[in-house]
C-alpha cells in the first residue's frame, strides 16, 4: 500500500469538504454578514493563527462589506482547515447572523412545505384558479388610488356602473411583478394594497401567490411569506408581533430570525373589510418593539405605518370602501383585481360544466339578461348563478329560467335544501321545520350582521342566533355558510356577500309581517311600528340614508320577495304568510313615488330604486324609457323619474353597452341631472342638442374627473363657442381616457381652436379630433400645426369646412415632416 498517496488522497478529500462548505454557504455568508460579526470572525481567526494581522488589514481595506466578505472567503478557502475553523466559530456563536447563515435555507424549505399544505386545503374553493382561468397569466391594473365610486357605493353598484370594465390606459402587473420595482432605479413597494369587490377573488389571488412562491416560481428574493387573514385576527386581543408569528406558524422556531432586517419578509393581511377592530392611523400610540404586547388593532396600524418592522414588506387586500381608510401616503402601490370578461365567463362555464347543452342554455340566458351577465364578472357570483341555472335546467320542472337576482337566489337556497334528495322530488314541504328554522336563524344572523358591517362570524355568534353547530354540516347550511379554520381561530362566513343580503331580506320580509317594533333596532326599544308597509318604508329610509350604499342590494332583494315567482321558489323553506298581490301593487306605487321625488341630480341611491322595480318585475316604466331610447324619441319626456330610469339603463341596457346615444333629447337641466351617471359610458353621442357653453362647463368637469371612463364623445351639431371649447380644453389637460372628440359643426372659432391646440401639446390619449365647420382661420390652424410638433398620439385631425388659408395649410404641412403619429389630415 502506498501510504504517501493514501495520505495525499485523504488530505485532498478533506480540502474538498472544506471548500464544499464554503461554496455551498457562500451566498448565505455574503447575504447575512454584518460589520460587527465580520470583525468578531477576523479577531477569532487571528487568535487561532489562521490569519495574520497583515491579511486582516488587507481584507478590511478591500472595499464595502460584500467585498470584504468575498476577500475573507478567498483567504480562508486557500488555507488548510480554514473552512472548518470558520464553520466552528459560526456554530459556536449564538448571534442571529450565525443562525441565519446556518439555518436559513432549511427553515425556508420547511416553511414552504407548510404553506403548500395549507394552500391545498382550499384548492377546491378557489374557483378562479382553475386551469382555464390561470391567475399566473392574468394581470392586475395599477391604479391611482380608490375612486369616489369605490368609496361610496355598494360592490354590485360599482360593477353595474362600470360593467366590469377598467380604463384601458392603466399599467398592468402580473403576479410575479406585484412586489417588484416598476423601474430599474425605483425601490420595491413597502406597503402594497390590492382592492376588489366581494367575491372577485382577492383571497384566491393571495393563495395563488403563496402557492407559487412556495413552489419557487416567483419572488425568489423573498425569504419568508407570512399570510394572515383579518377574520382570524378578530379573535385576538393583545399580543406582540413575535407572538403572532409563533401562533400562526409554529414551524418557525424563532420569530426574530424571520423578522430580521437581513431577510426580505412579506406579511400578507388578507380581507381588511372583515376586520372588526378600528384602524386609527391619526391617533395610534407608536410601538417599535416587536416583543411588546399591544391591542391587535394598534399592532396592525403600527405595522402599516412602519413603526413596527420597517424593513418588512406588507401586502393588504380589501374591498375598496374599507381600503380607503388607509391614508394614501402610507401606501406605495395600489392594484385592483379585474372582473371576468365575457370570454372568461364562457371558459368558466366550459370548465366547470361538462354538459355542452346545459352550458349553451346558460350562456344564452346570460346573453339575454345583461344584469346577470355583469354580475357574472364576479367569479363567486358566476359560480352561484351557473350552478343554480344548471340545477333548474336539469330538473326540468320550471318553464322559464330566473330573470331577477332575487328569484335566482331563491332557487339557489331551495336547491341547497334539496341536495341529497332523489332527483324529481317535490320542493321541501312545510313539515320540514328544521330547514325553516335554520333558514330563519341564518337570516337573522345575516340581517344584524349586515347592519353592523359584519361579514365573518364566530361559533359564539352562531350560537347566539340559535344556529346549532351540528347543523352547519347539513346540505342547506353547508351550501350558504362556509367554515374557515386556522391555527388561531375558526370562523364562518356566507358564501358571498349577496347571499348574506338575500337571507337578511328574507328574515326582514318574514318578520315585518308580525313585528311591532323597528327591526333595525335589535337591542334597543323603539316607537311601535306595525304592519308590513311601515317596515318596508323603514327599510328604504335606512337605505337612502346610508352613505356607503351598503343596504342597496338588501332592499333590492326585499322588493324582489314580493314577486310571486320568488315566493313560489321559497315555498316550504320560509313561512311568509298569505300575500294576495296587494303588497306588490302598493310597493310599485311607493317606488315610483320615490322616483319622482328627490333632488335635482340623479344619484346612485336613486338609480337603485329602478333596480328595485326590476326585481319586483314591475317593468312598464323601464321598458317605456328603453323603447324611447332605442327609437330616439326621448325628447321632451325626461322627467326626473325618466332620468333615474335612464341612469339605470346606462348600466343594464344592451342599447348602451357599446354606444350611448342621447342625441336630440338633452338640455342643461337634464345633463346636470344625469351627470353622475355619464362617467362610465364608453362611447357617448350628444349630437344636435343645441348645447351651449354652460353645458360644456358641466361636460368639462365630467371629463376632468378621475372616475371618468369615457373614450369617445360626439358633440357635433351643437352651439358650442370659444368659451365652451375652453372648458373642454381644460379637461383635455388632465383627461387620460378620451381617444375621440367630435366637435363638427359648432362655432369654437379662432380662440377656441387655439385653446384646443394648447391642450393637444400635453394630452397623451386623444387619437381623433374632428373640428369640421368651426370657423377656424389661418392663425388658429398654425397653432394647431405647432401643437403637432409636441403631440405624439394624434392620428386623425379633420379641419374640413374651415378657412385655414395658405399660411395655415403650409404650417400643417411642415408639422407633418416632424410628427410621426398623424395618419390622416383632412
In 3D space, the residue among 167, 165, 197, 158 whose CA is nearest the CA of residue 607 turns out to be: 158
Tell the burial category of 590 from Cβ atoms under 10 Å away from its Cβ (0-12, 13-18, 19+).
middle
- For the chain, the average pLDDT equals 85
Hey, is 608 helix, strand or coil? helix
Residue 128 predicted with pLDDT over 60: no
Compare 136 and 54 and report the one with higher pLDDT: 54
Residue 760 predicted with pLDDT over 80: yes
> What b/e sequence results for 726-739 when a residue is b if at least 16 CB atoms lie within 10 Å of its CB, and e otherwise?
bbbbbbbeebebbb
How much is the pLDDT for 431? Answer: 40
How much is the pLDDT for 580? Answer: 55
In 3D space, the residue among 758, 795, 753, 788 whose CA is nearest the CA of residue 773 turns out to be: 753
In 3D space, the residue among 309, 337, 308 whose CA is nearest the CA of residue 194 turns out to be: 337
Residue 758 predicted with pLDDT over 80: yes
Average pLDDT of the segment spanning 509-517: 83
Average pLDDT of the segment spanning 18-24: 64
Strand order across the 265-270 sheet: 171-174, 139-143, 333-336, 191-195, 313-318, 265-270, 224-229
How much is the pLDDT for 681? Answer: 86
Least confident of 300-304, 352-356, 813-817: 352-356
Compare 515 and 766 and report the one with higher pLDDT: 766
Confidence of residue 131 (pLDDT cuts 50, 70, 90): very low
Question: Cell numbers at residue 514, please?
Answer: 308580525
Count other C-beta atoms under 10 Å from residue 27's C-beta. Answer: 12
Average pLDDT of the segment spanning 526-547: 83
Residue 67 predicted with pLDDT over 80: yes
What span, in angstroms and rounded, lies between the C-alpha atoms of 646 and 30? 66
How much is the pLDDT for 139? Answer: 82
What span, in angstroms and rounded, lies between the C-alpha atoms of 558 and 541? 13
**Cα separation values, 1 from 5, 7, 10, 473, Å:** 9, 11, 14, 76
Residue 293 predicted with pLDDT over 90: yes
Residue 419 predicted with pLDDT over 70: no
How much is the pLDDT for 472? Answer: 66
Average pLDDT of the segment spanning 39-57: 84
What span, in angstroms and rounded, lies between the C-alpha atoms of 506 and 442? 10
Say what the pTM is. Answer: 0.87
How much is the pLDDT for 613? Answer: 94
Count other C-beta atoms under 10 Å from residue 761's C-beta. Answer: 14
- Tell me the β-bridge partners of 587: none
- Tell me the β-bridge partners of 712: 683, 740
Going 422 to 424 to 430 to 431, the CA torsion angle's sign is: negative
Average pLDDT of the segment spanning 506-534: 78
What span, in angstroms and rounded, lies between the C-alpha atoms of 786 and 763? 14
Residue 453 predicted with pLDDT over 70: yes
Average pLDDT of the segment spanning 252-262: 83
What span, in angstroms and rounded, lies between the C-alpha atoms of 504 and 406? 12
How much is the pLDDT for 326? Answer: 93
Confidence of residue 14 (pLDDT cuts 50, 70, 90): very low
Query: pLDDT tens, 482-504?
Result: 888 887 888 899 999 999 999 99
How much is the pLDDT for 8? Answer: 42
Residue 532 predicted with pLDDT over 70: yes
How much is the pLDDT for 518? Answer: 81
What span, in angstroms and rounded, lies between the C-alpha atoms of 509 and 483? 27
Query: pLDDT tens, 710-737?
Result: 899 999 999 999 999 999 999 999 998 8
How much is the pLDDT for 26? Answer: 80
Compare 644 and 571 and report the one with higher pLDDT: 644
Count other C-beta atoms under 10 Å from residue 795's C-beta. Answer: 15
| Maximum Cα–Cα distance across the chain | 114
Amino acid at each position: 500500500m502506498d501510504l504517501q498517496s493514501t495520505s495525499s488522497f485523504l488530505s485532498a478529500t478533506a480540502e474538498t469538504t472544506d471548500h464544499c462548505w464554503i461554496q455551498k454557504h457562500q451566498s448565505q455568508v455574503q447575504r447575512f454578514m454584518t460589520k460587527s460579526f465580520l470583525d468578531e470572525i477576523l479577531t477569532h481567526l487571528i487568535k487561532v493563527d489562521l490569519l495574520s494581522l497583515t491579511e486582516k488589514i488587507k481584507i478590511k481595506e478591500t472595499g464595502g462589506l460584500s467585498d470584504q466578505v468575498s476577500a475573507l472567503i478567498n483567504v480562508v478557502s486557500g488555507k488548510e482547515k480554514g473552512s472548518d475553523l470558520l464553520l466552528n466559530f459560526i456554530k459556536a456563536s449564538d448571534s442571529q447572523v450565525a443562525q441565519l447563515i446556518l439555518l436559513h435555507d432549511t427553515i425556508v424549505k420547511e416553511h414552504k412545505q407548510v404553506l403548500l399544505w395549507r394552500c391545498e386545503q382550499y384548492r377546491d374553493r378557489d374557483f378562479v384558479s382553475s386551469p382555464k382561468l390561470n391567475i399566473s397569466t392574468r394581470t392586475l391594473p395599477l391604479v391611482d388610488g380608490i375612486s369616489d365610486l369605490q368609496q361610496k357605493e355598494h360592490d354590485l353598484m360599482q360593477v353595474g356602473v362600470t360593467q366590469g370594465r377598467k380604463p384601458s390606459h392603466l399599467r398592468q402587473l402580473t403576479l410575479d411583478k406585484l412586489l417588484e420595482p416598476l423601474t430599474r432605479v425605483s425601490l420595491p413597494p413597502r406597503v402594497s394594497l390590492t382592492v376588489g369587490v366581494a367575491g372577485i377573488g382577492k383571497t384566491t389571488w393571495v393563495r395563488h401567490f403563496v402557492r407559487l412562491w412556495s413552489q419557487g416560481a416567483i419572488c425568489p428574493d423573498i425569504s419568508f411569506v407570512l399570510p394572515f387573514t383579518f377574520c382570524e385576527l378578530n379573535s385576538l386581543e393583545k399580543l406582540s408581533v413575535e407572538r403572532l408569528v409563533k401562533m400562526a406558524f409554529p414551524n418557525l422556531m424563532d420569530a426574530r430570525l424571520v423578522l430580521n432586517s437581513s431577510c426580505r419578509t412579506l406579511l400578507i393581511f388578507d380581507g381588511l373589510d372583515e376586520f372588526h377592530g378600528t384602524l386609527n392611523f391619526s391617533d395610534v400610540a407608536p410601538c417599535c418593539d416587536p416583543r411588546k404586547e399591544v391591542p391587535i388593532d394598534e399592532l396592525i396600524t403600527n405595522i402599516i405605518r412602519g413603526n413596527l418592522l420597517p424593513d418588512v414588506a406588507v401586502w393588504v387586500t380589501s374591498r375598496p370602501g374599507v381600503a380607503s381608510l388607509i391614508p394614501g401616503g402610507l401606501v406605495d402601490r395600489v392594484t385592483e383585481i379585474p372582473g371576468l370578461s365575457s370570454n372568461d365567463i364562457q371558459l368558466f362555464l366550459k370548465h366547470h360544466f361538462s354538459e355542452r347543452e346545459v352550458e349553451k342554455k346558460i350562456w344564452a340566458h346570460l346573453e339575454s339578461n345583461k344584469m346577470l351577465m355583469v354580475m357574472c364578472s364576479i367569479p363567486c357570483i358566476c359560480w352561484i348563478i351557473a350552478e343554480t341555472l344548471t340545477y333548474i335546467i336539469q330538473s326540468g320542472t320550471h318553464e322559464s329560467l330566473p330573470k331577477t337576482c332575487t328569484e335566482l337566489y331563491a332557487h339557489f337556497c331551495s336547491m341547497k335544501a334539496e341536495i341529497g334528495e332523489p332527483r324529481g322530488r317535490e320542493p321541501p314541504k312545510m313539515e320540514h321545520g328544521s330547514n325553516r328554522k335554520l333558514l330563519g336563524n341564518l337570516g337573522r344572523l345575516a340581517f344584524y350582521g349586515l347592519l353592523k358591517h359584519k361579514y365573518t362570524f364566530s361559533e359564539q355568534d352562531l350560537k347566539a342566533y340559535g344556529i346549532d353547530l351540528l347543523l352547519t354540516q347539513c346540505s342547506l347550511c353547508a351550501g350558504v355558510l362556509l367554515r374557515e379554520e386556522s391555527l388561531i381561530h375558526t370562523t364562518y362566513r356566507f358564501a358571498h356577500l349577496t347571499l348574506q343580503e338575500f337571507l337578511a331580506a328574507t328574515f326582514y320580509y318574514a318578520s315585518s309581517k308580525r313585528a311591532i317594533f323597528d327591526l333595525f333596532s335589535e337591542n334597543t326599544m323603539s316607537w311601535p311600528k306595525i304592519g308590513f308597509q311601515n317596515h318596508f318604508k323603514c327599510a328604504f329610509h335606512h337605505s337612502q340614508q346610508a352613505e356607503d350604499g351598503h343596504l342597496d342590494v338588501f332592499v333590492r332583494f326585499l322588493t324582489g320577495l314580493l314577486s310571486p315567482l320568488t315566493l313560489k321558489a321559497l315555498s316550504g323553506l320560509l313561512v311568509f304568510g298569505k300575500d294576495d298581490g296587494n303588497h306588490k301593487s302598493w310597493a310599485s306605487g311607493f317606488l315610483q313615488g320615490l322616483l319622482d321625488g328627490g333632488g335635482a341630480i340623479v344619484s346612485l341611491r336613486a338609480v337603485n330604486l329602478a333596480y328595485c322595480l326590476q326585481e319586483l318585475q314591475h317593468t312598464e316604466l323601464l321598458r317605456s324609457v328603453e323603447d324611447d331610447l332605442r327609437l330616439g324619441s326621448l325628447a321632451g319626456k325626461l322627467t326626473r323619474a325618466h332620468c333615474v330610469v335612464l341612469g339605470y339603463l346606462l348600466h343594464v341596457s344592451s342599447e348602451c353597452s357599446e354606444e350611448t346615444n342621447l342625441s336630440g333629447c338633452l338640455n342643461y337641466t337634464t345633463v346636470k341631472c344625469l351627470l353622475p351617471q355619464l362617467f362610465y359610458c364608453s362611447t357617448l353621442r350628444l349630437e344636435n342638442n343645441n348645447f351651449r357653453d354652460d353645458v360644456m362647463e358641466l361636460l368639462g368637469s365630467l371629463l376632468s374627473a378621475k372616475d371618468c371612463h369615457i373614450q369617445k364623445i360626439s358633440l357635433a351639431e351643437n352651439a358650442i363657442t370659444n368659451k365652451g371649447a375652453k372648458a373642454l380644453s381644460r379637461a383635455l389637460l388632465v383627461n387620460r381616457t378620451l381617444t375621440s372628440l367630435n366637435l363638427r359643426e359648432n362655432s369654437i372659432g379662432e380662440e377656441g381652436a387655439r385653446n384646443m391646440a394648447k391642450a393637444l401639446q400635453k394630452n397623451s390619449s386623444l387619437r381623433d379630433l374632428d373640428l369640421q365647420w368651426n370657423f377656424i382661420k389661418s392663425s388658429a390652424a398654425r397653432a394647431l400645426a405647432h401643437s403637432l410638433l409636441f403631440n405624439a398620439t394624434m392620428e386623425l385631425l379633420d379641419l374640413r369646412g374651415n378657412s385655414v388659408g395658405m399660411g395655415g395649410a403650409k404650417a400643417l404641412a411642415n408639422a407633418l415632416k416632424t410628427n410621426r403619429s398623424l395618419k390622416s389630415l383632412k
